[in-house]
Amino acid sequence: MTTLTRTDTSLVGQWWWTVDRWFLGALLILVFFGVLMVFGASPAVATKLKLSSYYFIKKHLFVLPIGIAMIFLISLLPPKNVKRLAVIGLLSGIIILGLTLIFGSEIKGARRWLSAGGFSLQASEFIKPFFAVVAAWMFSEWRSKTSFPGHLISLLILIIIVSLVLGQPDLGQTVVISAVWSCQFFLAGLPLFFVISFFIFGVIGLVVAYFFFDHVRSRVDRFLDPSTGDTYQIDRSLEAFSNGGLFGTGPGEGEIKDLLPDAHSDFIFAVAGEEFGVFIALAVIGLFGFLVLRGCLRIMSESSLFVFLAVAGLLIQFGLQALIHISSSLQLIPAKGMTLPFISYGGSSFLALSIGMGMVLALTRKRPGREEFL
Amino acid sequence: MKRELGKVPERPFIKLDGVVNRFIEVAKNRMLLVCAVFSFAFVLAGLRLLDVSVIGGLGEPSVISESARATLKTGRADIVDRNGILLATSLSVPSLYADPSEVLDAEAAADALKTVLFNLDKKNILAKLKQKKRFVWLKRGLTPEQQLKINALGVPGFHFQEEDRRFYPQGRLGSHIIGFSGTDAVGLSGVEKQFDGILRDGSEPLSLSIDVRIQHILREEIQKQIESFEAIGGAGVLLDANSGEILGMVSLPDFDPAFIKGASLQAKFNTATLGVYEMGSTFKIFNTALALDLGSATMTSGYDATNPIRIARHTINDYHPKKRWLSVPEIFMYSSNIGSAKMADEFGALAQKEFMKKLGFFDQLDVELPERASPIFPARWRRINTMTISYGHGIAVSPLHLTSGVATIVNGGIRWPVTILKRHAGQQAVGKQVISSKTSLDMRRILRLVVENGTGKKASANGYLVGGKTGTAEKRAVQGGYAKKLRLSSFVGAFPIHDPKYVVLVMVDEPKGNKDSFGYATGGWVAAPAVKRIVSRSAPLLGVHPKNELSPKIRQILELNINPGGGKKRLASF
């Protein structure tokens, strides 16, 4: 890297000097830690599923370089191309989502994955970053040209996506997508009256979900009153943290993790707590906090509303997902299956987040006098 | 390469448009709120993490200890005898299975396994290892040593799984009571079945009323009689006369619960509770007790037993005919069928039926075992039935019914429900008065008479004052009618008879006379000696102290005039 001089005008040279290297560094640490965690947590799960012990590790290591390459390549894009990528991505995402509903493979009562040629794709993961960017674009257009109903267009897209995702059904993704969109709308200057209305609407939506989706109701019931049902997962999760204590049992030495279903994905933070102890787990939380706040700080001097809203949306999505995962495993909220960004196993989730973070890096690059790229 | 070197000056916002500028300011202000919410949430998550991992880990032991307790509670609860001796327990044992897809060389694996488990059939193992499955059992229930050796073979694809297995440390002892449970830990007979739910949920051992020592004595002594008289089976019960607790109960032949597959149907059959038999003369206990209790007969009255009774094409005869008038104690002592039948004829069918019902002889036993018999009794109770039932024919009850009935007669007249569970201190069941305590005392006197002077002499365990009655019933032949040669010889008695604590029954099925018994195979020759030995061996364990049988105090209690009408001689009953 030292060969890159400040006067280097090559693509990579420019990239190096304009990209948020702190953000990038923190991301790579997360990715590295994620590999460790998948190594620790997945063999037990794989064995239980009668797969070879290294099944998930191999898949993770296969996806890993692709993800990193995506972060890098996408972060090279100028904002205008990010916009284009998002639009294309979103359109394909919605089409795939529709196909998933028709041809998808059903796993644990939900139709979320589309399998093709040995790979399975979870379209809803990819929709999230693309939609955040498209929504940001729509909102910024709405604000710059008063006649352009960008907010309504984004609302329409949201309704399409939500109805497709709820059809799977996948309430967790629905909540994340809607929450990110709402935040963006809020940032784009939604009158406070509507902010409050949206809030009430969201609460009503969750209440409705409670009454209409049995699996949601049982999870909430179990959270509010653990005696009403099987709290096996969350009990094991808390036990894992407790077992880890201050310094953890050491990498690969966790015991409770073997009893934890989905240890490699929805409960990987508990494995981190058990094997690495409270300090490293705190550091992971800190790293997520750092990434979100660092990104936010970076856009505080941003002059483009589109860039501001897009980055904010992507960061909120990233932070929200991390918070839902961590809070679930700590019994702060009802258990909700959500991957921990970059740390959990999950090909689609990993790649989609790479795309999202690649776009964050691309949009937060310093663009002195280069607004024409917008 | 320091960054400051060529820092590109950041330009202020390019004001594309005043409107957009205003909106971006709003967005930035609102973003501060979003950032604050996120910061708060991350801090909260961090604090909760500390709480769960460190503080919670030290302070509240909730999660771990609860789960530890949950995992400890594997398998079924133990079953113990009244003194806490283990009768049934669950242990975790390793079982060997293979994942054939991981086995590299089936031939070599099978050979290696045979070096540890010599008895395995190699062909069978090979076939299993070549199946296209991911799981085949190779051997269930290994010893730790076998597991260690197999593990040391290092054959890839061999795995162990811990399984709960039920062990019965007492083997055959009490097998009919304890029962057994199948490989999947479901109780299939006996207490294991009756209390399946409790055993499954409980961690506290289930205490039975039986005492393994008594169980052992019963089994050994009855087995001895079965062998010397070439009998086909036998049964025995030792019952606490005043609480209804079963101290020991055997049914022979019996089985070893560890090898249940090899046990015959006959061995698994609990004769004591599931078999019903016409008990014969031992039923005269109830007949006499009823007559005395009703007052239709007294200890000094009697009946003429000179001639057989002919009724409805039947002839009622005596086994030891005296051909004279007999007093009630004599009728009992000499086991006169004629006298008994006349006694019954006097109080009649109605009273007899009601009494049998009160003794529980019309109902299934109330003991807590799934193997409970329903008695067989005549649907139409005619005069002839009343007469034959007086001496134990025409009604069939289980040995435990009989024992429970005798306990009622001797203990002061109270019928206690029989139980296989230990009654803990202060746990008293509700009993029903069936006969008066006066009748009970009279009955004890004449029961003692049988052992001192009558057919039950061989049951006299010196110092323990056994009183009882012999019975030699003819078994109903398969084709109907009675087979003279097939007998059910029994003795039922109580000790010490002046203040009965325990009731003992010994029953031997189809004994054949031998040289020592001069060809006799009656209750007096077959069952009584076993009772003597059982009482002599059990009494010290049960806390019954030997007494001087001739002491004036005891003689006074048991004093009896057996022949008031006859020779006018008063007999102390010896």
pLDDT of amino acid A79: 86
For the cut 70, the answer to whether the pLDDT of residue B64 exceeds it is no
Residue of A143, A144, A238 with shortest CB distance to B63: A238
Residues on chain B touching A332 (C-beta within 8 angstroms): 44-45, 48
Residues on chain A touching B11 (C-beta within 8 angstroms): 368-369
DSSP B132: S
Q: What percent of chain A has pLDDT over 70?
A: 89
A229 reaches B (C-beta below 8 A):
no
Position B493 confidence tier, pLDDT thresholds 50, 70, 90: very high
pLDDT of amino acid B328: 92
3-state secondary structure of B159: strand
Measured CA to CA, the distance from residue B378 to residue B387 in angstroms comes to: 12
CB B23 within 8 A of CB A143: yes
**Which of B3, B25, B33, B38 to mutate to probe the A interface, most A CBs <10 Å?**
B38
**Residues written for chain B:** 574
Residues on chain B touching A316 (C-beta within 8 angstroms): 34, 38
| Structural domains for chain B | 73-93+167-208 (3.90.1310.10), 215-558 (3.40.710.10)
Query: What is the full DSSP assignment across B5-31?
Result: GGPPPPPPPP-S-HHHHHHHHHHHHHH
Q: Are strands A105-107 and B502-509 parallel, antiparallel or unpaired?
A: unpaired
Inter-chain touch A309–B27, beta carbons under 8 Å:
yes
Q: Output b/e per residue, B166-185; b: 16+ Cβ within 10 A.
A: bebebebbbbbbbbbbeeeb
pLDDT digits (tens, 9 = 90+) for B410-467: 999 999 999 999 988 777 778 899 999 999 999 999 999 999 888 889 999 989 999 9
pLDDT of amino acid B438: 92
- Say whether B281 is catalytic: yes
Question: Residue B353: which of B393, B372, B380, B331 has the closest Cα?
Answer: B380
Inter-chain touch A312–B63, beta carbons under 8 Å:
no
Average pLDDT over residues B193-207: 85
Tell which wins on pLDDT, B212 or B157: B212
In B233-350, at which residue ranges do the beta strands (DSSP E only) sit?
233-240, 246-252, 302-304, 309-311, 314-316, 325-327
- Ramachandran angles phi, psi of B86, nearest 5°: -65, 125
Q: Which of residues 252-281 of A touch B (CB under 8 A)?
A: 273, 277-278, 281
3-state secondary structure of A102: helix
Inter-chain touch A296–B67, beta carbons under 8 Å:
no
3-state secondary structure of A174: helix
pLDDT digits (tens, 9 = 90+) for B113-147: 988 888 888 888 888 888 877 788 888 888 889 99
Inter-chain touch B49–A281, beta carbons under 8 Å:
yes
Average pLDDT over residues B230-240: 93
For the cut 90, the answer to whether the pLDDT of residue A215 exceeds it is no
Inter-chain touch B49–A289, beta carbons under 8 Å:
no
Lowest mean pLDDT across A172-181, B144-153, B180-189, B526-535: B180-189
Q: pTM above 0.80?
A: no
Q: Which amino acid is at B63?
A: V
pLDDT of amino acid B519: 78
pLDDT of amino acid A227: 60
Measured CA to CA, the distance from residue B250 to residue A271 in angstroms comes to: 57
Average pLDDT over residues B275-290: 92
Lowest mean pLDDT across A45-49, A151-155, B306-310, B475-479: B475-479
Residue of A242, A285, A371 with shortest CB distance to B52: A242
Handedness of CA B186, B187, B188, B193 (dihedral sign): negative
* Per-domain boundaries in chain A: 26-373
Residues on chain B touching A369 (C-beta within 8 angstroms): 11
pLDDT of amino acid A118: 58
Sort residue B53 into left (φ over 0), alpha (ψ -120 to 50) or beta: alpha
pLDDT digits (tens, 9 = 90+) for A97-118: 888 887 776 666 666 776 665 5
Average pLDDT over residues B360-369: 90
Inter-chain touch A292–B1, beta carbons under 8 Å:
no
Residues on chain B touching A183 (C-beta within 8 angstroms): 34
Q: Which residues pair with B159 in a beta bridge?
A: B97
List for chain A the helix, strand, coil content (%; round to 5).
70, 5, 25
Contacts 24+ apart (CB under 8 A), A118-122: A119/A347, A120/A347, A120/A348, A121/A96, A121/A348, A122/A346, A122/A348, A122/A349
pLDDT digits (tens, 9 = 90+) for A144-191: 877 788 888 889 999 999 888 888 777 888 888 988 998 888 888 888
The chain-wide mean pLDDT, for chain A, equals 83
Measured CA to CA, the distance from residue A271 to residue B42 in angstroms comes to: 19
pLDDT digits (tens, 9 = 90+) for A30-71: 999 888 888 877 887 787 777 777 888 888 888 899 999 999
CB A125 within 8 A of CB A349: yes
Find tokens 């205003």 and name the residue.
B22
How many beta carbons lie within 10 A of that of residue B228, not counting itself? Answer: 17
